């Protein structure tokens, strides 16, 4: 007997149903929505991913990026180019007030450019100052995200607003804001979301009472942190959250941690909680998804995990009511995993309702598991991103087996697989985030 069921109406929203925020952009995907219930309406706080339009040639005054320095510099494009010969990059320029959107175009034949991941642009600088760090690799995003509200009276048929709810506004958000979670605490909805920039992946906080006016509270976690979900009530007199640090040293283990706070701003008491498990469905990485809810037996969290075949699935972890640092049980098998074309190979612009951040004006939480779906932005070469990523992983494993035999070790394999695994985002296609 299945513990979860999918809505037959899924996917609930597509990119074609969401208008671009600016004429120069096109919507690529809508996904990773936080959920709330307010005044009889079901609210989705969507992540909307956009990129420069691919159906028109760059304008006569188009700009390009000079990657030779430690930071990219905008320069006039030396000559007109066709849309087939460039890839567009959109980012927020926080040096102006208010911040302004900039669109630049990079020739696809630029030496050192790596476009294998359709969501990102990787450039290897062999001559600039950055060659001394990170092997000269610089990563940029082909898409930029913002948060937007969609509303429904029945929880199935949604209409998206035509304007941003929360958009990139500071230097720490130059690549966009992503992946919201919403928790209702003491009469106010608290929204955690990812702020992405060249400085890393941080988590920021905002609040709202009506999902029409939003108040930003700033960054609450240093890079690199994401998947921050706040508990709906204090435990032992303190606020509690789940988070997912993303260390770039040694084992690079991406898993669920727990942290505590007295004011929802400063967090401490960090400790690992639900890390990846060898040879199980959550072997590669884990991350918090839904807002934890109280049951008679403990705090129940629905989280996402990734197996060695890079398949994302949803499971649960049960924590002690008085001390949520204590794990009582974890799902030995996924509650729900991808099935059907919408959550495996496409369509890439579809988005479904998932159990991320359900909040309501009530202390009673729903125990029904909603679908955990993933939407994949379309490859510029016409292949689904998941299939291209799996091909990349298989190629890396094959190449690294040979390299390991020649070198007598597996360090090279680990490094290459770590780079390959950074292609996919948890519970949703990356539209503009840092690496998962």
| Choice between 9 and 88, residue whose per-residue pLDDT is larger | 88
Confidence of residue 119 (pLDDT cuts 50, 70, 90): confident
Element (H, E) at 395: helix 385-407
Mean pLDDT is lowest, of 1-15, 147-161, 219-233, 321-335, for 1-15
**CB burial string 385-415: b at 16+ within 10 A, e below:** bbebbbebbeebeeebeebeeeeeeeebbee
CA dist 150 and 18 (Å) reads 9
| Choice between 191 and 80, residue whose per-residue pLDDT is larger | 191
Confidence of residue 2 (pLDDT cuts 50, 70, 90): low
| Choice between 110 and 417, residue whose per-residue pLDDT is larger | 110
List, in order, residues 6 or more apart from 311 with CB less than 8 Å away: 337, 338
Mean pLDDT is lowest, of 33-42, 107-116, 324-333, 403-412, for 403-412
Instruction: Please give the torsion angle defined by the CA atoms of residues 29, 301, 313 and 153, in that order, rounded to the nearest 10 degrees.
Output: -40
Residue in the structure block whose two tokens are 């050192």: 112
Q: Is the model's pLDDT at 424 over the cut of 60?
A: no
Mean pLDDT across the stretch 373-390?
38
Which residue stretches of 145-218 are H helix? none
Mean pLDDT is lowest, of 24-28, 46-50, 123-127, 290-294, for 123-127
- Give the closest residue to 267 by CA, choosing from 254, 256, 258: 258
Q: How many residues does the chain have?
A: 436
Longest dimension (CA), the chain: 67
210, two tokens? 């009506």
pLDDT at 346: 58
Mean pLDDT across the stretch 419-431?
39
Mean pLDDT is lowest, of 1-10, 44-53, 159-168, for 1-10
179: left (phi over 0), alpha (psi -120 to 50) or beta: left
Q: Is the model's pLDDT at 168 over the cut of 80?
A: yes
| Choice between 175 and 127, residue whose per-residue pLDDT is larger | 175
Mean pLDDT across the stretch 300-326?
96
Q: What is the mean pLDDT of the chain?
A: 82
- Give the closest residue to 230 by CA, choosing from 176, 147, 301: 301
In the chain, % of residues over pLDDT 70: 75
List, in order, residues 6 or more apart from 56 with CB less than 8 Å away: 83
Mean pLDDT across the stretch 395-400?
48
List, in order, residues 6 or more apart from 31 with CB less than 8 Å away: 46, 47, 49, 351, 352, 373, 374, 375, 428, 429, 431
pLDDT at 221: 97
pLDDT at 133: 61
CA dist 197 and 332 (Å) reads 36
Residue range 236-271, pLDDT digits in tens: 999 999 999 999 899 999 999 999 999 999 999 999
List, in order, residues 6 or more apart from 140 with CB less than 8 Å away: 65, 72, 89, 91, 120, 121, 122, 123, 175, 198
CA dist 328 and 330 (Å) reads 7
Q: Is the model's pLDDT at 434 over the cut of 70?
A: no
pLDDT at 128: 55
| Choice between 368 and 173, residue whose per-residue pLDDT is larger | 173
Q: Is 339 exposed, middle or buried (0-12, 13-18, 19+ CB in 10 A)?
A: exposed
Task: Evaluate whether 134 touches 124 at the Cβ level (below 8 Å).
Answer: no
pLDDT at 6: 85
In the chain, % of residues over pLDDT 90: 62
pLDDT at 391: 53
Q: Is the model's pLDDT at 400 over the cut of 70?
A: no
CA dist 20 and 375 (Å) reads 18
CA dist 82 and 80 (Å) reads 7
Mean pLDDT is lowest, of 3-12, 53-62, 339-348, 407-416, for 407-416
Mean pLDDT across the stretch 35-61?
96
| Choice between 117 and 218, residue whose per-residue pLDDT is larger | 218
Residue range 93-105, pLDDT digits in tens: 988 888 899 999 9
Confidence of residue 352 (pLDDT cuts 50, 70, 90): very low
Q: Is the model's pLDDT at 174 over the cut of 70?
A: yes
| Choice between 15 and 408, residue whose per-residue pLDDT is larger | 15
Task: Evaluate whether 335 touches 318 at the Cβ level (below 8 Å).
Answer: no
pLDDT at 129: 54
Answer whether 0.85 is exceeded by the pTM.
Answer: no
């Amino acid at each position: 007997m299945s513990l979860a069921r999918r809505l037959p109406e899924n996917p609930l929203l597509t990119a074609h149903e969401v208008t671009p925020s600016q004429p120069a952009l096109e919507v690529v995907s809508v996904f990773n929505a936080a959920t709330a219930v307010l005044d009889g309406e079901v609210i989705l706080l969507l992540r909307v991913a956009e990129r420069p339009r691919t159906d028109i040639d760059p304008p006569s005054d188009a700009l390009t990026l000079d990657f030779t320095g430690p930071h990219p510099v905008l320069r006039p494009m030396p000559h007109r180019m066709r849309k087939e010969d460039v890839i567009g990059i959109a980012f927020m320029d926080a040096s102006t007030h208010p911040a302004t959107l900039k669109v630049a175009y990079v020739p696809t034949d630029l030496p050192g450019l790596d476009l294998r991941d359709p969501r990102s642009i990787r450039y290897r600088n062999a001559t600039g100052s950055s060659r001394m760090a990170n092997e000269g690799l610089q990563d940029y995003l082909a898409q930029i995200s913002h948060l937007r509200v969609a509303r429904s009276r029945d929880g199935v048929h949604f209409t998206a607003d035509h304007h941003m709810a929360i958009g990139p506004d500071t230097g720490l958000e130059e690549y966009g804001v992503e992946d919201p979670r919403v928790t209702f605490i003491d009469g106010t909805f608290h929204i955690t979301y990812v702020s992405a920039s060249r400085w890393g992946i941080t988590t920021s906080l905002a609040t709202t009472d009506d999902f029409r006016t939003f108040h930003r509270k700033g960054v609450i976690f240093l890079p690199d942190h994401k998947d921050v979900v706040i508990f709906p009530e204090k435990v032992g007199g303190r606020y509690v959250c789940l988070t997912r640090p993303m260390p770039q040293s040694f084992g690079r283990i991406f898993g669920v941690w727990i942290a505590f706070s007295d004011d929802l701003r400063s967090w401490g008491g960090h400790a690992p909680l639900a890390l990846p498990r060898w040879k199980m469905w959550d072997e590669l990485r884990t991350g918090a998804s839904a807002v934890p809810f109280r049951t008679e037996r403990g705090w129940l969290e629905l989280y996402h995990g990734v197996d060695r075949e890079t398949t994302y699935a949803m499971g649960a972890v049960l924590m002690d009511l008085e001390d949520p640092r204590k794990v009582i049980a974890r799902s030995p098998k996924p509650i729900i995993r991808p099935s059907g074309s919408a959550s495996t190979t496409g369509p890439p612009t579809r988005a479904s309702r998932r159990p991320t951040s359900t909040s309501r004006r009530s202390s009673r939480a729903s125990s029904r598991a909603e679908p955990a779906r993933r939407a994949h932005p379309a490859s510029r070469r016409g292949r689904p991103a998941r299939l291209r990523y799996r091909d990349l992983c298989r190629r890396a494993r094959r190449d690294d087996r040979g390299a390991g035999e020649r070198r007598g070790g597996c360090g090279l394999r680990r490094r290459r697989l770590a780079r390959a695994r950074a292609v996919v985002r948890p519970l949703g296609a990356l539209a503009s985030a840092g690496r998962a």
